[in-house]
C-alpha cells in the first residue's frame, strides 16, 4: 500500500473545518444555556465579590501577623522567665552543694567515730584534748601540753580558712547582687523610658484637652455673663415698670369700680375682690339649668338606646330569614352545578377517548423530537 501525503491546501481546509466546529460548539454552549443567554454575567457583582474577598483575606492576614507577633513576644517573655527560674534553681542547688561540702562532711558526723574504718590505726593519744582519753586512760597528766604548737597552728589555719571562705562567699554574693542590680536597673530604665513616653503623650493629650476645654469654658462664661447682663437689665426694666404700674394702679388709688374692665363681665385678677350676690345668684341659676339639661339629655339617650335595641332585634330576625333563603338558594345552585360538571366531565372523557383511540392513534417517537434544536443556525 502507498501512503498518500496531505497537501497544504487540505491542511488549511481541515484547520478551517476544526475552527468552525469549535466555534459552533462554543455557540451551542452559549445559546443552549438559557440562564446565560437571558440573564448574562453580573460583572459588577463579581468584581465586588472579588474586592470583598481580597479585603477579607487582607484583614485575616493582618490578624494572623498581629497574632504571630504577640505569640513571639509572649514566647520571648516565657523563655526569659524560664531562664531566670532555671538560673535561680541552679544557683540554689550550687549553694546547697557547697554548704554540704563545707559544713556537712561525712567525717564531721556525731556517730562517725563508731563507723570509722581507720579507728584501729589511730594512736591512743593524738593530742591533749582527745575525747577518747578519760581519767583512767593514763594518757594525760596535769601540766602536759604536747600539742600546744600544733594546736595554735591549726587555729591560725582554721581562722585563715574561715576568713578566705567568708571573703569568697561575700565576693560571690556581691557579684550576684550586682548582676541582679544591673538587670533590675536595666528593667527599671526600660520601664521608666516607657512610662516617660506614655506620660509625655498623656500630658500632650491632657494639655490639648485642657486648652480646648478652657477655650470652650471661656466662651460659655462670656456667653453666660452676657446673658446674665441682659437678664439683669430686663429684670430691672420689668421691676421699674411693675413699680410704676403699682404706683398708678386703681387698687392703690382706691378706685371704687375695679372689677369691670372694658365691659361688665371682664375683670382683672390683680383687682378682683370677690363675687357680688347678684353674680353668685346668676351662677347658681346657671348650674341648676345645666343639671336639668343633663337629666333631659340622659332621658333622651335612654329612649334612643331602647329604640336602637328594638331596631337591632328586628334587623337580626330579618337577617336570619334572609340568610336562610340565601343558603337554600346556594344549595340549589350547588346541586345544579354538580350535575352540570358531571355532564361536562362525561363529554370530556368521551372526547378524550375519541382523540386517543381514533384521531391520534399513531403517536410520535423520541426520534421525531430529537431532530429539532440540534444546530444554532
**Confidence tier at 27 by pLDDT (50, 70, 90):** confident
Q: pLDDT tens digits, residue range 38-78?
A: 666 667 777 888 899 999 899 999 999 998 999 899 899 99
Alpha helices in the chain (DSSP H): 8-31, 34-38, 43-103, 112-115, 148-248, 277-354, 366-370
Is residue 258 pLDDT above 60, yes or no?
A: no
Is residue 306 pLDDT above 50, yes or no?
A: yes
Q: Determine the Cα angle at 93 with ends 88 and 95, to 5°.
A: 95
Q: Tell me, what's the pLDDT at 1?
A: 40
Cα 42 versus chain centre, distance = 35
Q: How far apart are CA 95 and CA 89, in angstroms?
A: 10
What average pLDDT does range 302-316 have in this prediction? 90
Amino acid at each position: 500500500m502507498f501512503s498518500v501525503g496531505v497537501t497544504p491546501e487540505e491542511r488549511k481546509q481541515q484547520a478551517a473545518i476544526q475552527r468552525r466546529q469549535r466555534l459552533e460548539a462554543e455557540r451551542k454552549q452559549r445559546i443552549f444555556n438559557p440562564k446565560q443567554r437571558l440573564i448574562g454575567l453580573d460583572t459588577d457583582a463579581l468584581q465586588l465579590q472579588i474586592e470583598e474577598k481580597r479585603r477579607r483575606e487582607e484583614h485575616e492576614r493582618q490578624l494572623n501577623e498581629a497574632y504571630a507577633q504577640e505569640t513571639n513576644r509572649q514566647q520571648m517573655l516565657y523563655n526569659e522567665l524560664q531562664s531566670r527560674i532555671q538560673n535561680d534553681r541552679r544557683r540554689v542547688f550550687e549553694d546547697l552543694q557547697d554548704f554540704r561540702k563545707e559544713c556537712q562532711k561525712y567525717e564531721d558526723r556525731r556517730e562517725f567515730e563508731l563507723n570509722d574504718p581507720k579507728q584501729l590505726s589511730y594512736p591512743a593519744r593524738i593530742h591533749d584534748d582527745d575525747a577518747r582519753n578519760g581519767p583512767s586512760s593514763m594518757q594525760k597528766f596535769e601540766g602536759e601540753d604536747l600539742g600546744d604548737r600544733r594546736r595554735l597552728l591549726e587555729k591560725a589555719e582554721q581562722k585563715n580558712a574561715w576568713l578566705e571562705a567568708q571573703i569568697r562567699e561575700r565576693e560571690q554574693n556581691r557579684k550576684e547582687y550586682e548582676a541582679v542590680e544591673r538587670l533590675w536597673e536595666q528593667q527599671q530604665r526600660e520601664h521608666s523610658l516607657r512610662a516617660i513616653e506614655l506620660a509625655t503623650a498623656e500630658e500632650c493629650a491632657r494639655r490639648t484637652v485642657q486648652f480646648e476645654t478652657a477655650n470652650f469654658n471661656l466662651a460659655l462664661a462670656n456667653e453666660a455673663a452676657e446673658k446674665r447682663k441682659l437678664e439683669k437689665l430686663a429684670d430691672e426694666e420689668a421691676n421699674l415698670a411693675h413699680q410704676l404700674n403699682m404706683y398708678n394702679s386703681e387698687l392703690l388709688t382706691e378706685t371704687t369700680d375695679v372689677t369691670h374692665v372694658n365691659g361688665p363681665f371682664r375683670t382683672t385678677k390683680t383687682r378682683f375682690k370677690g363675687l357680688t350676690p347678684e353674680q353668685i345668684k346668676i351662677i347658681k341659676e346657671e348650674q341648676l339649668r345645666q343639671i336639668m339639661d343633663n337629666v333631659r339629655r340622659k332621658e333622651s339617650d335612654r329612649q334612643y338606646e331602647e329604640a336602637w335595641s328594638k331596631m337591632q332585634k328586628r334587623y337580626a330576625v330579618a337577617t336570619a330569614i334572609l340568610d336562610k333563603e340565601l343558603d337554600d338558594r346556594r344549595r340549589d345552585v350547588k346541586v345544579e352545578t354538580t350535575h352540570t360538571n358531571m355532564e361536562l366531565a362525561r363529554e370530556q372523557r368521551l372526547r378524550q377517548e375519541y382523540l386517543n383511540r381514533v384521531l391520534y392513534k399513531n403517536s410520535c417517537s423520541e426520534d421525531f423530537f430529537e431532530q429539532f434544536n440540534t444546530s444554532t443556525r
